[in-house]
């Protein structure tokens, strides 16, 4: 390092002579002695005045000393180097007068060489040790400053806790958060039975005493044992800022937690829902819909979750996760059609009832069908994974359904409670949202016991916000600490209730997540799919998704819908009316959409499974349409049609389709050309452009429609 520093110095100052040339002890000594010998012999031969050698030596000593001073060499290094030059010069002067080629001259020169080498070596070692010590001293200085800061924090908080809570703690450690949003104190409680709750209860007063900015808190939680406490102090209010949903849409698993937002220390908070249900309370305008989208985003990213959504409130929670795929707005990888971000969306009472009945059937069937697996794995919890996915039922305003006195709603409520009650071990859990933490919601024992993952979004709303009921046993939480939309409190069995904020998620990110996770969604396991039957397999049927068309941007000429038959109502009347009519363009599109899903992902089980005792069951994932005789196309042809539909307005060509199908179906370009021609002939597709620009567009996306 010293030599690098020296070299740099020289480049910048540009000395004429390199007095500090990079020699080691051996090469340095060798170079000095051979140089002295050469000068002495040449000087003697040419009768050079010996005084010159002395002059050169003195100049060398001076040059080295100047450079050494510049690079801050130690005094002893400077002295050694100068002495080496002077001894060498002295010998040369003496040898020039007495003759360099005598034994005395040669012997003394060798001795001088060894001496210079040894001195240089010891100097180098000394310089190295000096440098290491200087670095260590700098480190110690930084550490001293840091620990001085920590000591100051510790002293300040010992005083504060004494003043506010009247207990004297002993601070064992202070850790500054890497996010820079605050610090944690690990402290020992005084003997005599003081508990961490005593500090937790004074959170508000401690925050005020510390003059923390609005939104910053002091949270006390249990330490490593009951005599210790961890105090988290936030000094920067990260809840104030709007943070968008993290753009890394990596694979998640229900077993390792799904991120739902971030804490005041800017760290994300995970919900573990393998066994827990969740309750999200938020009044209108608090950011509840946004929070539901954040939750659905996490489930979509998980490889072991199928999300079933009930949203009787115009489908605003579920539709953004279905429509982009339904409308073919998103391009999948390799031109594949894209699966919706949720596996089933119920926007009507009938559909919701069907979904809940199906969920109960699946739970019961799993209990029977997986006995052997459970015995083998020696567990009573179904091993959920990509092959046996967990079904997460997200029920927007589900708590209001539970509280309703309406006869029909009571029926839904009973089913919701049944799922919560019977299906924990079998991998079906619910996320209920509620407008308020009313006693009819939290008064329900089942909810209190099973839904311990809790969120209260306040968004500044104080009415009906009983945080004490939502987070029993937690003190010091005040609604005014979270006045921002999307912010509130979250508590799970793993993470005590505290301030948090949901990420903001906008429709473009929802579309990105649908596209990024389309290939990742699991397929309902055979046992469950058979129990779910046609109710599940036909979930994307035109008549069952008719209500979605109200929200479909292209659905302008919806026919047969009565003004009052809006979403959220029983649409059976509407369906009867439609069944008698010629199918509209939308019907056709929805049929194709269902076919896409069937053909590409095999999500549909056999709707007519053989009786239990009539031989081996048919595998799940059979193509519904083929069974119904509606459509005689091969799977490859259906996949091609799906690709055409997914290509949207831009359209696609025979080569692109053939490439996408080659691996799975071995389809050639020629075959695809034949299909495309046939589809143009029967009006399914339209040919657009000429020559090399020619492409095929599904008639749904054809320019004139």
Ligand X SMILES: Nc1ncnc2c1ncn2[C@@H]1O[C@H](COP(=O)(O)OP(=O)(O)OP(=O)(O)O)[C@@H](O)[C@H]1O
Q: Which of 285, 464, 554, 689 binds ligand X (CB under 6 A)?
A: 285
Binding residues among 200-259 for ligand X as defined by CB under 6 A: 242
Residue 275 tokens read as 């066994």
What minimum distance in Å lies between the beta carbon of 571 and ligand X?
23
Residue 405: Cβ within 10 Å count: 8
Residue 529 tokens read as 């799919």
What minimum distance in Å lies between the beta carbon of 569 and ligand X?
19
478 makes contact with ligand X (CB under 6 A) = no
Q: Is 364 annotated as a binding residue?
A: no
CA distances from 82 to 6, 57, 60, 70, 310 (A): 17, 9, 7, 15, 89
Binding residues among 662-691 for ligand X as defined by CB under 6 A: none
Q: Are 450 and 483 in contact (CB under 8 A)?
A: no
Would you say 290 or 492 has its CB closer to ligand X? 290
What minimum distance in Å lies between the beta carbon of 393 and ligand X?
19
Would you say 370 or 500 has its CB closer to ligand X? 500
Q: Which of 43, 113, 223, 287 binds ligand X (CB under 6 A)?
A: 287
Q: Is 285 annotated as a binding residue?
A: yes
Q: Which of 504, 520, 551, 659 binds ligand X (CB under 6 A)?
A: 504
Task: Please give the Cα distance from 370 to 376 (Å, whole number).
Answer: 10
- Spell out the long-range contacts of 91-94 with Cβ–Cβ below 8 A and sequence spacing 24 or more: 91/36, 91/40, 92/36, 92/39, 92/40, 92/43, 92/50, 92/53, 92/54, 92/57, 93/50, 93/51, 93/53, 93/54, 93/57, 94/50
Q: Which of 226, 284, 559, 655 binds ligand X (CB under 6 A)?
A: 284
Would you say 218 or 441 has its CB closer to ligand X? 441
Residues facing 258 on adjacent strands: 271
What minimum distance in Å lies between the beta carbon of 149 and ligand X?
33
485 makes contact with ligand X (CB under 6 A) = yes
Binding residues among 290-329 for ligand X as defined by CB under 6 A: 290
What minimum distance in Å lies between the beta carbon of 317 and ligand X?
9
The stretch near ligand X (CB under 6 A) out of 55-63, 109-117, 386-394, 496-504 is 496-504
Would you say 397 or 600 has its CB closer to ligand X? 397
Q: Are 198 and 253 in contact (CB under 8 A)?
A: no
Q: Which of 65, 286, 307, 492 binds ligand X (CB under 6 A)?
A: 286
CA atoms within 13 Å, Cβ hemisphere of 207: 25
- Spell out the long-range contacts of 439-444 with Cβ–Cβ below 8 A and sequence spacing 24 or more: 439/469, 440/399, 440/402, 440/403, 441/279, 441/281, 441/399, 441/402, 441/403, 442/469, 442/470, 444/402, 444/417
Q: Which of 288, 336, 366, 511 binds ligand X (CB under 6 A)?
A: 288
Alpha helix segments (H runs only) across 436-475: 439-442, 445-450, 467-470
Residue 411: Cβ within 10 Å count: 16
Alpha helix segments (H runs only) across 538-668: 572-579, 585-601, 624-628, 635-646, 654-665
Would you say 317 or 360 has its CB closer to ligand X? 317
289 makes contact with ligand X (CB under 6 A) = yes
Q: Is 287 annotated as a binding residue?
A: yes
What minimum distance in Å lies between the beta carbon of 367 and ligand X?
36
502 makes contact with ligand X (CB under 6 A) = yes
406 makes contact with ligand X (CB under 6 A) = no
What minimum distance in Å lies between the beta carbon of 244 and ligand X?
8
Would you say 293 or 538 has its CB closer to ligand X? 293
By Cβ distance, which residue is nearest to ligand X? 486
In terms of Cβ atoms closer than 10 Å to its own Cβ (0-12, 13-18, 19+), residue 478 is middle
Helix axes 319-326, 507-517, angle to 10 degrees: 60
Would you say 485 or 538 has its CB closer to ligand X? 485
Alpha helix segments (H runs only) across 99-202: 103-165, 196-200
What minimum distance in Å lies between the beta carbon of 544 and ligand X?
25
In the three-class reduction of DSSP (H, G, I as helix; E, B as strand; rest coil), residue 400 is classed as helix
The stretch near ligand X (CB under 6 A) out of 288-296, 370-378, 392-400, 526-534 is 288-296
The stretch near ligand X (CB under 6 A) out of 140-148, 285-293, 621-629, 666-674 is 285-293
Task: Please give the Cα distance from 23 to 78 (Å, whole number).
Answer: 15
Would you say 243 or 411 has its CB closer to ligand X? 243
Tell me the residue length of the chain.
Answer: 705
Q: Which of 486, 567, 605, 653 binds ligand X (CB under 6 A)?
A: 486
- CA-based R_g, the chain, Å: 40
458 makes contact with ligand X (CB under 6 A) = no
551 makes contact with ligand X (CB under 6 A) = no
Q: Is 286 annotated as a binding residue?
A: yes
Q: Are 677 and 655 in contact (CB under 8 A)?
A: no
Count of residues engaged in binding ligand X, rule: CB under 6 A = 15
Q: Which residues are annotated as a binding site for ATP?
A: 282-289
Question: Which residues bind to ligand X, rule: CB under 6 A?
Answer: 242, 282, 284-290, 485-486, 501-504
Q: Which residues are annotated as a binding site?
A: 282-289
């Amino acid at each position: 390092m010293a030599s690098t520093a020296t070299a740099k110095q020289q480049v910048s100052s540009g000395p004429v002579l390199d007095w500090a040339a990079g020699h080691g002890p051996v090469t340095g000594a060798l170079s000095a002695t051979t140089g002295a010998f050469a000068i002495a012999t040449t000087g003697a031969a040419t009768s050079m005045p010996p005084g010159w050698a002395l002059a050169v030596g003195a100049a060398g000593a001076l040059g080295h000393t100047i450079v050494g001073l510049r690079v801050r060499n130690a005094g002893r290094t400077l002295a050694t180097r100068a002495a080496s030059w002077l001894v060498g010069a002295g010998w040369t002067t003496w040898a020039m007068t007495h003759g360099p080629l005598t034994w005395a001259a040669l012997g003394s020169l060798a001795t001088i060489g060894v001496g210079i080498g040894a001195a240089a070596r010891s100097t180098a070692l000394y310089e190295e040790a000096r440098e290491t010590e200087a670095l260590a001293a700098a480190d110690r200085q930084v550490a001293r400053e840091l620990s001085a800061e920590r000591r100051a924090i510790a002293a300040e908080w010992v005083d504060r806790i004494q003043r506010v809570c009247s207990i004297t703690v002993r601070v064992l450690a202070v850790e500054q958060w890497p996010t820079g949003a605050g610090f944690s104190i690990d402290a020992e409680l005084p003997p005599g039975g003081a508990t961490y709750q005593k500090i937790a209860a004074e959170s508000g007063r401690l925050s005020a005493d510390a003059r923390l900015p609005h939104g910053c808190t002091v949270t006390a939680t249990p330490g490593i044992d009951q005599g210790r406490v961890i105090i988290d102090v936030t000094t920067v209010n990260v809840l104030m800022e709007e943070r968008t949903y993290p753009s890394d849409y990596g694979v998640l698993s229900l077993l390792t937690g799904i991120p739902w937002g971030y804490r005041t220390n800017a760290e994300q908070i995970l919900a573990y829902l393998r066994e827990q249900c969740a309750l999200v309370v938020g009044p209108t305008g608090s950011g509840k819909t946004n929070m539901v989208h954040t939750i659905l985003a996490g489930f979509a990213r998980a490889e072991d979750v199928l999300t079933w959504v009930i949203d009787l409130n115009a489908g605003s929670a579920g539709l953004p996760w279905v429509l982009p795929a339904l409308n073919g707005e998103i391009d999948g990888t390799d031109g594949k059609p894209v699966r919706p971000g949720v596996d089933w969306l119920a926007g009507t009472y009938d559909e919701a009832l069907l979904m809940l009945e199906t969920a109960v059937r699946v739970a019961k069937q799993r209990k029977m069908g997986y006995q052997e697996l459970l015995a083998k794995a020696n567990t009573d919890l179904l091993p959920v994974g990509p092959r046996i996915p967990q079904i997460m039922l997200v029920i927007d305003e589900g708590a209001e359904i539970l509280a309703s006195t309406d006869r029909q709603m009571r029926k839904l409520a009973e089913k919701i409670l049944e799922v919560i009650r019977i299906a924990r071990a079998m991998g079906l859990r619910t996320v209920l949202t509620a407008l308020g933490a009313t006693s009819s919601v939290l008064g329900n024992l089942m909810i209190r016991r099973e839904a311990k993952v809790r969120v209260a979004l306040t968004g500044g709303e104080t009415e009906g916000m009983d945080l004490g009921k939502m987070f029993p046993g937690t003190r010091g939480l005040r609604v005014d600490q979270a006045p921002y939309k999307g912010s509130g409190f979250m508590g799970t069995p793993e993470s005590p209730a505290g301030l948090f904020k949901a990420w903001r998620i906008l429709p473009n990110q929802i579309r990105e997540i649908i596209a990024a996770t389309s290939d990742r969604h699991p397929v309902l396991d055979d046992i469950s799919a058979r129990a779910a039957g046609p109710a599940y397999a036909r979930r994307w049927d035109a008549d069952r998704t008719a209500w979605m068309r109200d929200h479909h941007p292209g659905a302008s000429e919806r026919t047969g819908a009565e003004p009052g038959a809006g979403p959220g109502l029983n649409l059976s009347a509407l369906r009867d009316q439609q069944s008698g009519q010629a199918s509209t363009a939308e019907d056709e599109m929805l049929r194709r959409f269902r076919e896409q899903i069937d053909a590409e992902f095999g999500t549909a089980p056999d709707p007519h499974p053989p009786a239990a005792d009539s031989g081996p069951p048919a595998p799940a994932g059979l193509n519904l349409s083929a069974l119904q005789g509606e459509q005689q196309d091969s799977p490859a042809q259906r996949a091609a049609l799906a690709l055409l539909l997914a290509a949207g307005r831009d359209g696609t060509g025979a080569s692109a389709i053939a490439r996408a199908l080659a691996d799975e179906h071995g389809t050639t370009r020629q075959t695809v050309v034949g299909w495309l021609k046939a589809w143009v002939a029967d009006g399914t597709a339209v040919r657009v452009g000429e020559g090399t620009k020619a492409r095929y567009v599904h008639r749904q996306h054809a320019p004139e429609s």
